[in-house]
Amino acid sequence: MDKFELSNRRYLGSKTKLISFIHEVVNKNCSNINSVLDLFGGTGVVGYSFNDECSVLINDILKTNIVAYDTFFSNETIDKNKIEGMLVKYNKVNVTEDNYYSKNFADTYLSKDNMRKVGFIRDDIDKQFKNKKINKREKSILICSLIYGIDKIANTVGHYDAYRKNGNLDQKLIMLMPNINDNNNNNNRIYCENSNQLVKNISADLVYIDPPYNSRQYCDAYHFLENVALNKKPEVFGTARKMDRSNLKSKYCTAKAAIEFADLIENIKAKYILVSYNNTGEKGNARSNAKISDSQIMEILGKKGEVKVFEQEYALFNTGKTKLDDHKERLFLCIVGQKKNEYIVNSISGLVKSPLNYTGGKYKILTQLIDKFPKDIDMFFDIFSGGGNVGVNIEANKIICVDINDRLISLFKYLQNEEYYHLVNHLDSLIDKFSLSNTYKNGYEFYGCNSGNGVGKYNKDKFLNLRSKYNKSNGKRDDLFLLLIIYSFNNQIRFNNKGDFNLPVGKRDFNGSLRKKLQLFMDKLHSKEISFENIDFRRLDVDRISKVNSFLYLDPPYYLGDASYNENGGWTAKDEDDLLNFLKLCDGKQIRFALSNVIEHKGKIHDKLLNWCLSNGFNINYINCSYSNSNYHIKDKSLVTREVLITNY
């Protein structure tokens, strides 16, 4: 009897032609590989290619693929003569009565006669297993043979999303014997589980990952074969006669793909992680576009260890509607725990820095501030929160960040409600849309620039286009606002009298440092109970605040300062008076507070603030700042700025 091989299937993304490439990468870069986990097994050809060398663990969510794994990877004893005899019988059978398959699928993927045959054979396999005439593996072999026989003559273009209306239905269904070699199957293990859950419970020396790349769900592409594998005879619907597949949908085909991938990598226990992923990017139609960018893969794997990238030209399988030139299959090899890529942004005492370089930000003096804050805070108010450096780093049961800048508060809420990898994927797509530089992905030379001069010249016109687009949206686009900040001068924020963002382009773009900073900041937002309120400090309910163990930190615009937020009368004498009266009221309600300010700036003393402190008995704590004009030993005393933290406790 003729035989078929494991690789004799038409399958989306099959890696049959990449086997030698995969082994070349592994042989040259990995050592002491005794076990391999093929996590998204698909046809199973990658895992099977390691079967002669080591133990193979293989997993897939589709039962269609599991029966093939049972056939080729299992070590359960089988009677080959018995199986061949049953296959001969099935090939000769002539079925005249209708069944589930002929009633629901006649003249679609197969002819009516072939569908009758499928129904009869599939039911008989279950009957033989129920009567203990065949064991579990023998049952899988027969189902696998049936599936491969169907796939060979199916009236499709390689998947079952649709069938050819005028296709050839005259071919005869023939079942063959699989070419089984059991010599090396003793230590193999087969799983049919969610990959993200499975990796929490098993380990291997090498984990090979070939997840879905785009929005095309494999359960949609192979629903008919999955129906045959399960034989539960569900109701089917639509032109393609699909069953309910909601329990088989993969998040790797959705906008949450990068989030799933990050969770997966974090929980893998292995020496090496090898990831296959293509570079379709935005080259094809929307359904074909890769859901995870190369930069995201590098970031995620970079948390685990050193990452190397290998490329090979590859003919992409598609539905015939998309022509992709210069397609490459990429292999990302992560050497776990070795020469680990620098991932954590330089921080002080585990603190993270805001990605928004807001004027007057307190990150540099944050340890001094926290050291002077009370340790028993239930509710922390970060008033005039600005870039959020203080609020996100504070330990309290609840944190409330307050600012009068509605766009800033809206942006923080946006960051709080987004997942990092989803957001980065979106930002990268916007970067491409506005033709801005992406040195994280392409480097400086790609844009005719270098790290010294930066990419400002290249980005200028594109940045102005982005800025115009944002200003015309009247500040309603948080994503554009964030992108503007990323590409603006020093990542700062400034608006003119008309409310338009008016900073010029900066030298840098969405580089690795800023990406890391954004991720760590968002991690803090997601791990703490933080809320953001767009409100003037004068409207805060002091009575409500006094009823809980609250602490107020205030970092207002400095009345003596000359920062951009003080331009055009941004902070007036009345504002300063109102703030001091507000804090006097808080003190009367026994609410603890700490106020950042300057007592002296460029030789001028803030007499009102000094007298207010002295008359109310508030403490003046001098802060050792690292600002360029704060060195107390400089010769020109007119340049001195003395920053203080005023407390009522």
577-616: pLDDT as tens digits: 999 999 999 999 999 999 999 998 888 899 999 999 999 9
- Which stretch of 91-105, 521-535, 634-648 has the lowest confidence by average pLDDT? 634-648
The model's pTM is: 0.64
Label residue 208 by pLDDT band (50, 70, 90).
Answer: very high
3-state secondary structure of 374: coil
- Which stretch of 188-192, 460-464, 571-575 has the lowest confidence by average pLDDT? 571-575
Task: For residue 495, give the nearest of 480, 475, 518, 465 by alpha carbon.
Answer: 475
Average pLDDT over residues 153-157: 90
Sign of CA dihedral 405, 407, 412, 417: positive
Say if residue 219's pLDDT is above 90. no
> What tokens does 435 get?
């033709």
Sign of CA dihedral 407, 413, 417, 421: positive
Instruction: Using a pLDDT cut of 70, give the percent of the chain over it.
Output: 90
| Mean residue pLDDT across the chain | 89
Q: What are the extents of the domains in the chain?
A: 1-62+185-215+254-341, 76-176+223-239, 344-404+535-649, 406-526
Q: How far apart are alpha carbons 426 and 535 in whole angstroms?
A: 30
Q: How far apart are alpha carbons 385 and 118 in whole angstroms?
A: 68
Sign of CA dihedral 603, 607, 608, 614: positive
> What tokens does 415 get?
């960051």
Which residue has 């106020």 as its token pair? 595
Say if residue 266's pLDDT is above 70. yes
Label residue 68 by pLDDT band (50, 70, 90).
Answer: very high
Phi, psi of 266 (to 5 degrees): -60, -35
pLDDT, residue 636, reads 52
pLDDT, residue 349, reads 46
Vertex 229 angle, CA 223 and 231, to 5°: 95
pLDDT, residue 629, reads 37
Write out the DSSP string of 290-311.
Answer: -SS-HHHHHHHHHTTEEEEEEE
Identity of the residue numbered 102: S
Strand pairing of 305-313 and 328-336?
antiparallel
Average pLDDT over residues 132-154: 97
- CATH assignment, 344-404+535-649: 3.40.50.150
* Helix and strand numbers, DSSP H then E, in the chain: 23, 17
pLDDT, residue 518, reads 94
pLDDT, residue 31, reads 95
Strand pairing of 55-59 and 189-191?
parallel
Label residue 345 by pLDDT band (50, 70, 90).
Answer: very low
Answer whether 59's CB lies under 8 Å from 201's CB: no
Strand pairing of 3-4 and 177-178?
parallel
pLDDT, residue 565, reads 47
| Chain centre to alpha carbon of residue 586 | 44
The number of beta carbons lying within 10 Å of the beta carbon of residue 582 is: 18
Terminal C-alpha separation, the chain: 91
Answer whether 487's CB lies under 8 Å from 506's CB: yes
Residues 6+ apart with CB under 8 A from 21: 310, 312, 329, 331
Label residue 516 by pLDDT band (50, 70, 90).
Answer: confident
Fold of 1-62+185-215+254-341: Rossmann fold (3.40.50)
pLDDT tens track for 2-27:
999 999 998 887 889 899 999 999 99
Label residue 327 by pLDDT band (50, 70, 90).
Answer: low
Say if residue 97's pLDDT is above 50. yes
Write out the DSSP string of 233-282.
Answer: ----BTTTTB---GGG--GGGSTTHHHHHHHHHHH---SEEEEEEE--TT
pLDDT tens track for 386-438:
999 999 999 999 999 999 999 999 999 999 999 888 899 899 999 999 999 99
3-state secondary structure of 36: strand
> What tokens does 301 get?
């794997």
- Helix (H) or strand (E) run with residue 195 in it: helix 195-198
Strand pairing of 305-313 and 206-209?
unpaired
Q: How far apart are alpha carbons 357 and 372 in whole angstroms?
A: 24
- Which stretch of 245-259, 358-372, 511-525 has the lowest confidence by average pLDDT? 245-259
- Helix (H) or strand (E) run with residue 87 in it: helix 80-92
Pairwise pLDDT comparison (88 vs 634), residue with the higher score: 88
3-state secondary structure of 649: coil
- The strand ranges marked E within 12-122 are 35-38, 55-59
- Half-sphere exposure (Cβ direction) of 270: Cα atoms closer than 13 Å: 34
Average pLDDT over residues 117-143: 98
Write out the DSSP string of 500-537.
Answer: -B---B-S--S-HHHHHHHHHHHHHHHHS-EEEEE--G
Long-range contacts at 342-346 (CB < 8 A, ≥ 24 apart): 343/302, 343/303, 343/516, 344/516, 344/520, 345/513, 345/516, 345/517, 345/520
Answer whether 517's CB lies under 8 Å from 355's CB: yes
Write out the DSSP string of 142-162.
Answer: HHHHHHHHHHHH-SSSSSSS-
> What tokens does 220 get?
């949609």
Q: State the CATH architecture for 406-526.
A: Orthogonal Bundle (1.10)
Task: Let me know if 539 is exposed, middle or buried by CB neighbors in 10 A (0-12, 13-18, 19+).
Answer: exposed
Q: How far apart are alpha carbons 636 and 631 in whole angstroms?
A: 10
Answer whether 431's CB lies under 8 Å from 438's CB: yes
Say if residue 631's pLDDT is above 60. no
Which residue has 């957001």 as its token pair? 423
Q: Do domains 344-404+535-649 and 406-526 have the same CATH topology?
A: no
